[in-house]
Amino acid sequence: MSFRYLMPTRVECGNGMIQKAGQFIKELGLSKVLIVTDKGVKDAGLLSGLVESIHAAQLDYAVFDEVEPNPSAETVHKGLDLLKLGNADAVLAIGGGSSIDTAKGIAAMATNPGNILDYEGVGKLKADPLPIIAVPTTAGTGSEATASTVITNRETHFKAAVISPSLYPVLAILDPELTVGLPQGITAATGMDALTHAIESYTSKAANPVSQAFALHAVKMIGENLLNSYFVGTDLKARENMLVASLIAGAAFAQSRLGNVHAISHTFGGVFNIPHGIANAALLPFVMKFNLPACAAQYRDIAIALGKNVDGLSVLEAGEKAIEAVIEMNQAMKIPLNIRDLGVDLEQLPKLVEDSMRSGNVLINPRLTRAADIQAIIERAYHGNLEQF
């Protein structure tokens, strides 16, 4: 057995933890941060505690609030201009995965020449980025614990992944109170994004014992807490558990990468601008059905972690229960059981297949996958048909 495990991010978790952000930033020896966020987070008042703590620590800051869903290279470089104008020495993201991905891109381009899209792939950054601090306000992407950022090329409508160990944030601040006001739809989409990370990480061909331990525990935590976060909303313990589960799932797939769900869903974001989490949620049962023959025993583990009784069932039947559990969660949270309702258009099918096959995630998907398989998954997900696999 041969594997590497790396997780250099310091994590500070707890209710009201955002009030200590300035103190933590000062401990890192930093003096001015560029805060990267979106207008929704800003308008919701989620910056107030952060800004208060920065003022209390006598630090300086600037705010870049132009992050969009599926952030583009243009947005990264617009934020970079503001960073250079203010001479910030660190980048702090507060928001969902789009804000964290944008912040990582800005931090990388502050020390590297050219365009962020020049660095698509693994290990291509020449210089270490500026220090990155991540404050997630959703429980989904786990980007606060990963070594990657995904940026959209507007010209080709392709979402490019930039992967480097230097993209791990130096600090992640998890404050459940920041997630209490999330709309139900965002709670659902981001929670299922985290579940997809955990499931794909657990079954990845590149998984190792550490990543699998993290991934399976994340599956269990999400199964126990997501619906309560969705239906109750104000349950701080459930919110905290979801933030931790998202972090753990991120730490898992930072080691193992992912699989066909992400290979395909990234194309939906690039071509149709469909939010990443909802694309993952709708695709997940179909990719699981395709993968079942290759990882039935692992799906059995997942079924148990999601609370399914598999006593007396064959391994294959028990694995089916995991797919059943995912479908039930989607139904409970009003997530479509097909991708047609998300706005996917099969006229774009050749591009969707081609771009999906560009993803390195296809190579580590548990079942050998060819272009024809990607096409079949997309077509069956479009029609909501699980029976033909």
The enclosing domain of 153 has a CATH number of 3.40.50.1970
Q: By three-state DSSP, how is residue 295 classified?
A: coil
Instruction: Evaluate whether residue 95 is within a structural domain.
Output: yes
Note whether 235 and 336 are same-domain residues: yes
pLDDT at position 2, please? 82
Q: Domains in the chain: how many in total?
A: 2
Q: What is the CATH number of the domain that holds 349?
A: 1.20.1090.10
pLDDT at position 204, please? 97
Note whether 210 and 171 are same-domain residues: no
158-195-229 Cα angle (round to 5): 115
Instruction: Evaluate whether residue 208 is within a structural domain.
Output: yes
Q: What token pair was written down for 265?
A: 């869903």
Residues in CB range of 144: below 8 A, 6 or more apart: 9, 11, 100, 134, 135, 136, 169, 172, 174, 247, 250
Instruction: Evaluate whether residue 2 is within a structural domain.
Output: no
CA separation for the pair 250, 385 (Å, rounded): 30
| CB 171 within 8 Å of CB 10 | yes
Domain end call among 148, 179, 210: 179
Note whether 170 and 260 are same-domain residues: no
Note whether 120 and 198 are same-domain residues: no
Instruction: Evaluate whether residue 376 is within a structural domain.
Output: yes
Domain housing 167: 10-179
User: How do the pLDDT tens digits run along the chain, 389 residues long?
Assistant: 788 888 899 999 999 999 999 999 999 999 999 999 999 999 999 999 999 999 999 999 999 999 998 899 999 999 999 999 999 999 999 999 999 999 999 999 999 999 999 999 999 999 999 999 999 999 999 999 999 999 999 999 888 899 999 999 999 999 999 999 899 999 999 999 999 999 999 999 999 999 999 999 999 999 999 999 999 999 999 999 999 999 999 999 999 999 999 999 999 988 998 999 999 999 999 999 999 999 999 999 999 999 999 999 999 999 999 999 999 999 999 999 999 999 999 999 999 999 999 999 999 999 999 999 999 999 999 999 988 66
Strands 10-13 and 60-64: unpaired
Note whether 138 and 212 are same-domain residues: no
Instruction: Evaluate whether residue 101 is within a structural domain.
Output: yes
Note whether 337 and 214 are same-domain residues: yes
Instruction: Evaluate whether residue 388 is within a structural domain.
Output: no
C-alpha closest to that of 287 among 351, 362, 189, 224 = 362
Instruction: Evaluate whether residue 309 is within a structural domain.
Output: yes
pLDDT at position 3, please? 85
pLDDT at position 268, please? 94
Note whether 175 and 189 are same-domain residues: no
C-alpha closest to that of 238 among 199, 180, 305, 304 = 180
Instruction: Identify residue 297 by its one-letter amino acid code.
Output: A
Note whether 209 and 274 are same-domain residues: yes
Note whether 198 and 344 are same-domain residues: yes
CA separation for the pair 25, 389 (Å, rounded): 51
pLDDT at position 5, please? 85
pLDDT at position 308, please? 97
Note whether 112 and 211 are same-domain residues: no
Domain end call among 179, 205, 225: 179
Domain end call among 118, 144, 179: 179
| CB 334 within 8 Å of CB 282 | no
Q: What token pair was written down for 377?
A: 């998954």
Note whether 38 and 83 are same-domain residues: yes
pLDDT at position 388, please? 67
pTM: 0.94
Task: Tell me, rounded to whole angstroms, the distance of Cα 138 from its chain centroid.
Answer: 10
Q: By three-state DSSP, how is residue 72 classified?
A: strand
pLDDT at position 387, please? 81
Note whether 204 and 86 are same-domain residues: no
Q: What token pair was written down for 140?
A: 């989904």
If 0-12 CB within 10 Å is exposed, 13-18 middle and 19+ buried, where does residue 63 land? Answer: middle
Instruction: Evaluate whether residue 215 is within a structural domain.
Output: yes
pLDDT at position 221, please? 98
